[in-house]
Amino acid sequence: MSVESGRLTILHLSDVHATEGELLYGSVDGLERLERVAAYVAETGITPELVVVTGDLAQRGHPGVYPAIDRGLRRLEDAVGAPVLSVLGNHDDPVAARVLTGHEAGHARVVHVGELRVVLLDSSSGALDDEQLALVRATLSSPFGIGTVVALHHPPLGSPVPTLAQAGLAHADTLLDALAGGDVRIVLAGHFHHALSATVRGVPISVGPSLAYHQVMNAGPDLVSGHDASLFSLVHLSAESVSTAAFSLGDAVPLFTAPARRPASLAS
């Protein structure tokens, strides 16, 4: 946690959809976009304490790409100087994904990063089983450090996009019940391919956008469509607040560039 700002920064990536031997939709290289995230972080001076990747690491039908994904995640870890933790999504192969660092013994686990506790869940089936819900309840039975972050692929809520309104976590109430009364600071998820922030039963939920493509929000009530746009989120946790912001890896030309005005307290 930065002494100057008093906040902890999480780099939240989701929906990489890496492929083997071909590009997604003929143009999207998920592995290359992981490399671009590392370059972006270096260029902008972002210093996260943690990186969380919320699933769909691989495109369905590409089980052989997991060793390359693991190498990409480890390179990202080295580049940002912070641990990289990942969960699986519905496109992921739970067997092939065992080669990923941290997934060797199973895909649901609890990791401590300094004073932050991270509960990583496997919703690759679209739901959470009783064993994972028991893990959540047992973990949250006592507080830890500055609190707990829960990460999974399927958000425990629906999207405002009509075609995705029912695409969230199945039986989401069972997870929300398990979170009740715990020290959860935020739930991180993906799956929708668009950013979404909500508070459900007092728990902040942040759905990260996708590195692979961004949902066309006005595609219509019967269509799912994607822009070739690559985005990720930054999450800031402080003692009193939680905030999220989406960032684009695109190379749009700025309308203007001017010196930033810094508060007097930060100018020295």
Longest dimension (CA), the chain: 55
Q: What percent of the chain has pLDDT over 70?
A: 92
Is residue 268 domain-resident?
Answer: no
**Residue-number span of the structural domain to which 191 is assigned:** 7-217+224-249
Q: What is the mean pLDDT of the chain?
A: 93
Provide the residue count of the chain: 268
- Tell me, what's the pLDDT at 262? 61
**pLDDT tens digits for range 50-106:** 999 999 999 999 999 999 999 999 999 999 999 999 999 999 999 999 999 999 999
Is residue 148 domain-resident?
Answer: yes
Q: Is the pTM for the entire model greater than 0.95?
A: no
pLDDT: which is higher, 54 or 266: 54
- Tell me, what's the pLDDT at 219? 84
- Tell me, what's the pLDDT at 147? 97
- Tell me, what's the pLDDT at 222? 84
Task: Decide if pLDDT at 154 tops 90.
Answer: yes
The total number of structural domains in the chain stands at 1
**pLDDT tens digits for range 222-252:** 888 888 999 999 999 999 999 999 999 986 6
Domain CATH code at residue 202? 3.60.21.10
- Tell me, what's the pLDDT at 260? 66
13-27, 158-172, 190-204, 210-224: lowest mean pLDDT where? 210-224
Is residue 244 domain-resident?
Answer: yes
Is residue 245 domain-resident?
Answer: yes
The answer to whether the beta carbons of residues 6 and 182 sit under 8 Å apart is no
Task: Decide if pLDDT at 268 tops 70.
Answer: no
- Tell me, what's the pLDDT at 253? 67
- Tell me, what's the pLDDT at 56? 97
Is residue 261 domain-resident?
Answer: no
Task: Please state the φ and ψ torsions of residue 157, each to the nearest 5 degrees.
Answer: -165, 170
The answer to whether the beta carbons of residues 155 and 142 sit under 8 Å apart is no
Is residue 204 domain-resident?
Answer: yes
Task: Decide if pLDDT at 256 tops 80.
Answer: no
Is residue 50 domain-resident?
Answer: yes
- Tell me, what's the pLDDT at 226? 86
Task: Decide if pLDDT at 24 tops 70.
Answer: yes
2-16, 26-40, 120-134, 147-161: lowest mean pLDDT where? 2-16
Is residue 242 domain-resident?
Answer: yes
The answer to whether the beta carbons of residues 59 and 94 sit under 8 Å apart is no
